[in-house]
Amino acid sequence: MRSEGDGGTAGSTDCVQAYDPHNATVCVVDDDPAVRSAMINLLEASGFNALVFDSGEAFFASAHLKTIDFAVFDIKLRGMDGFAIQERCVALGLDLPVLFISGHGGHDMEQRALQAGALALLRKPVDPELLCAYMEDRLGTCRVPS
Task: Answer whether 28's CB lies under 8 Å from 53's CB.
Answer: yes
Q: Is residue 119's pLDDT more than 70? A: yes
- What is the Cα–Cα distance from 38 to 84, expressed in whole angstroms? 24
Tell me how far CA of residue 60 lies from CA of 23, 29, 71, 88, 142, in angstroms: 22, 10, 13, 9, 26
Residue 144 is assigned to a structural domain of this protein = no
Domain that holds residue 127: 2-139
The predicted pLDDT at position 10 comes to 34
Q: Is the pTM of this model over 0.85?
A: no
The predicted pLDDT at position 47 comes to 85
The predicted pLDDT at position 20 comes to 40
The predicted pLDDT at position 146 comes to 66
Q: Provide the pLDDT confidence category of residue 4 given band limits of 50, 70 and 90.
A: low
- What is the tally of structural domains in the chain? 1
CATH number at residue 42: 3.40.50.2300
The string of pLDDT tens digits covering residues 53-63 is 999 999 999 99
- What is the Cα–Cα distance from 137 to 28, expressed in whole angstroms? 18
